Structure 1
């Protein structure tokens, strides 16, 4: 670096600079550069003013740069819009400024799971389109077929259109016959055969998440079964989920044959025993966590490799995977994002399935007692609301549930 020439340091300049100052000839290009970049002395040296043609050139360069940025922005927007349209998304006619998009009413498609998962990831990257959208809860029903408690859910969703979306994954052979006025009308997604407890059950959960991720406005994702019921009205549930800093995924580490005892050394080095977790199947996830579950392939491949080759007691190890897969991968990849508890209550008395409740079991006291027996935390603060949903309820429980809904559940 060099100093600027002033009256006090002119003698220190190299000879050719000194001679240039004393010369009466026209300044050279080098002298012009020095005078342009150095502050002009107050008395000794005149201030150099850029020639008009130089100013014009600089302005043209700036204009070209701005034009290039505009063109790139338009091109990117057009590409994003074209990708959305090619996936059968359509812009909301009443919200052009927000560039908001809605998925088609018909959820059926012919994509493979791999194509679906990739599309869900691509859509999730278009986060700028979510500006101005009202966030929704995606209710994902993993079922064997019909929804026998659907009349209760119809009352639960009534009056809250635009704040929720519904996705149903039944057996492939099942075809719903819901009335066009039903909230469940045409909400079935392409499904595959699910065997209880196997990795195919995890596949179905990921399939539900991926289809729900295609709707950019879905912000929270709840996994439910046909035997689940809500314990509060929709407004309370919506506020509780949207205000939460965490996803409600059950993930715990405990000794014993039913938890750490199921860890297999062949899972190493990808998964160590200290990372092995167990948890309830039924979860609630933020969009960020849903993306992690759908996008994860590294650990999935390891689970897939072992599901048919290891047996524990009378159970095939593969039939126990669904208790461990999501709790384990989220403990590894996003432990700070989960609350380590589920929002879905169930009553376990031993055995592979929880207790089922029928007509004679349902009462106001029974429903209220669910949230009175346990304390938990919500956003790192003590809370008495630990469960928003409950299972398992038989079809015969529908009649008393409908009668009790206005007083015990807060809707209907």
Structure 2
């Protein structure tokens, strides 16, 4: 097969993925991902402490595991200390990501299930990004050193944090081996953090508060998560999720669907009711906020980046909700819940309600029992049929949508030698995701308590399940994950017994 040539002109920040790049005649580059990423990348040294990741203003964002990285002072190329024999490096341009923001008290109750889910996304990047890198003349490269000290070519990046550790034997590095999702966690301030063996190690945001059900503190926690997620310019959608939540679909489908949707998953339209009695005239802000703007939507939202900025930076509307939207039955009855009203009202008051889906069904819950809290599922209820039932009828033919979503993503571990010569010229090279799924289709579900950890894993993460959330190719070490679920459940159950189950 004829070699693929890349022109070299301008630069763009990228994620570095190790593979094979060689310079040809000083004009272009030939991409040949001859080896899997597992073979192409050596182990990055793990230090015993944590490093601090800062944003552009010098503020601490995340506490990440410290890795031993040196730099080629001459060329500026990151070099990972390794004993690997690999001599290749390759590149992928930056592309939109989805930020998963978990609101927790401590440990996530279904980490083994999430680990299986993230493993399904391992190595995947949008095929459109590969197509741009291979066929567009705008990308440029710099000379550097690969992990074995051999000259190679790479595309400039914003931060060394995008260097990827591909040692599949280390579970805590799983999130670094997938590129579709960013993860942020807001836990209790006194939570000591996830252990080094956890896939969520170092993902807690620094700025955390004590959040409680029915209070403005839930909004505070959301705003802090949004502030952290917005610092990554690649995050285009921000999703708020619960510690008791689980995914209803494969990561390829959720990633493609949420980015396919043009607006936020939020009811800022007022079609389904607003609980108008919770409004008080004291909340009005002349020229900014009126009673007609009052809205109600689920706490668990998916926000477009510009909407997320609005929520994170707002002061006027937030202060009114902080002062006048609260729960108090001691002296008089006041049952205004800021987490159900603030975001939807702010978007409506900003005249942007038409940019939401008018449903806000990101997370499925069951309210048939009545009361202030949705029902929690018991272990004996967990089954394939339950998960199918939680997939709203608006989900349509989700198996077809999943096949389409998978066709738009590319596993960089597969290499590129099988690409056809017309890869850059064919109009059919890059499939476009065009889903039949409607916004009323929930993508996640809650509340699955700590006692359902193993049953949930056995259903969602099963190699034999017909739910198509995980594929057989990613279903390795089922027994090890089940053992982890059993061991981790006791820790999560202790936390549950102490802090209860009210708002998650």
Normalised by the shorter chain, which TM-score bucket?
0.5 to 0.7
Conserved? CA contact 1:108–1:189, under 8 Å = no
**Structure 2 residue 454 is the aligned partner of structure 1 residue 399:** yes
Q: CA deviation at 1:370?
A: 1.4
Deviation at 1:323, TM superposition (A): 1.0
Correspondence list, 1:37-76, <5 A: none
Question: Whose RCO is larger (CA < 8 A, sep 6+)?
Answer: 2
CA distance in 1, matches of 2:227, 2:261: 22
Which whole-Å CA distance do the structure 1 matches of 2:182 and 2:272 have between them? 39
Task: Report the 3-state secondary structure (helix = DSSP H, G, I; strand = E; otherwise coil) of the residue aligned with 1:383.
Answer: coil
1:372–1:280 CA distance, 2 compared to 1 (3 A): closer
The CA distance in 2 between the partners of 1:246 and 1:285, in whole Å, is: 8
What secondary structure is seen at the aligned counterpart in 2 of 1:238? Answer: helix
**What residue number does 2:374 align with?**
354
Q: 1:347 to 1:312 in 2, by over 3 A?
A: farther
- 2:442 equivalent to 1:387: yes
RMSD: 3.5
Q: Does 1:261 align with 2:316?
A: no
Q: CA deviation at 1:147?
A: 0.8
Shift in CA distance, 266/372, structure 1 to aligned 2, threshold 3 Å: closer
**Maintained 8 Å contact 2:300/2:363:** yes
Structure ranking higher in strand proportion: 2
- Is 1:291 matched with 2:291? no
Residue 201 (structure 1) aligned with residue 260 (structure 2): no
Deviation at 1:100, TM superposition (A): 5.2
- Is 2:278–2:334's contact at 8 Å kept on the other side of the alignment? no
Give the Cα–Cα distance (whole angstroms) in 1 for the partners of residues 52 and 354 of structure 2: 33
1:155 aligns with one of 116, 119, 122: 116
Q: Distance in 2 between matches of 1:266 and 1:298?
A: 13
Asked whether the 8 Å contact 1:372–1:384 carries over to 2, the reply is no
Q: Report if aligned partners of 1:228, 1:393 keep a CA contact under 8 Å in 2.
A: yes
Q: Cα 1:116–1:291, aligned 2, differ >3 Å: closer, same or farther?
A: farther
Q: Is this contact kept in 2: 1:230–1:409, CA < 8 A? A: no
Structure number with bigger Rg: 1
Matched, 1:337 2:251: no
Cα distance per residue 1:278-322 (max 9 Å; x no partner): 1110001111111111121121122223246976997544x6122
- Where 1:324 maps in the other structure, the secondary structure is helix
In structure 2, distance between residues paired with 1:250 and 1:313: 32
> Displacement of 1:338 after TM fit?
0.9
Question: What is the CA distance between 1:371 and its match in structure 2?
Answer: 2.0
Of Structure 1 and Structure 2, the greater helix share is in 1
Shift of 1:108: 6.8
SS in structure 1 of the partner of residue 337 of structure 2: helix
**Corresponding position of 1:97:** 11
Q: What is the aligned length?
A: 297
In structure 2, stretches of 5+ residues that fail to align are: 1-8, 17-49, 62-91, 124-177, 402-433, 476-504
- How far apart, in 2, do the equivalents of 1:108 and 1:100 lie? 18
1:302 and 2:320 aligned: yes
Hey, what's the Cα distance between the residues in 2 that align with 1:286 and 1:346? 22
Alpha-carbon distance between aligned partners in 1 of 2:378 and 2:193, rounded to the nearest angstrom: 24
Taking the aligned partners of 2:103 and 2:51, their CA distance within structure 1 comes to: 18
TM-score, L = length of structure 2: 0.53
Displacement of 1:271 in angstroms is: 2.5
Contact 1:231 1:409 in 2 (8 A): no
* Aligned counterparts of 1:322 and 1:313: Cα–Cα separation in 2: 22
Q: Distance in 2 between matches of 1:296 and 1:116?
A: 21
Cα offset, 1:197, TM superposition: 1.6
CA distance in 2 between counterparts of 1:310 and 1:264 reads: 14
TM-score by length of 1: 0.64
Deviation of 1:391 after TM superposition, in Å, equals 0.5
- The match for 1:235 among 242, 252, 268 is 252
Quick check: 1:176 aligned with 2:196? no
Instruction: Quote the Cα distance in structure 2 between the aligned partners of 1:201 and 1:306.
Output: 15
Evaluate the alpha carbon distance shift between residue 260 and residue 217 of structure 1 in structure 2; reply closer, same or farther with a 3 A threshold.
Answer: same
C-alpha distance in 2, partners of 1:282/1:385? Answer: 14
**Does the CA contact (< 8 Å) of 2:364 and 2:444 recur in 1?**
yes
2:221 match: secondary structure: helix
Find 1:144's aligned residue among 105, 117, 131. 105
List gaps (5 residues or longer) in structure 1.
1-94, 118-130
Over 3 Å counting, the alpha-carbon distance change for 1:255 and 1:168 in structure 2 is closer
Report the CA distance shift for 1:383/1:212 in structure 2 as closer, same or farther (over 3 A): closer
How far apart, CA to CA, are the structure 2 residues paired with 1:410 and 1:309? 39
Q: Find the residue that maps to 2:210 and give its secondary structure.
A: coil
Which residue pairs with 1:248 in the alignment?
265
CA deviations on 1:30-84 (whole Å, 9 max, x unpaired) are xxxxxxxxxxxxxxxxxxxxxxxxxxxxxxxxxxxxxxxxxxxxxxxxxxxxxxx
Cα distance in 1 for partners of 2:330, 2:345 equals: 19
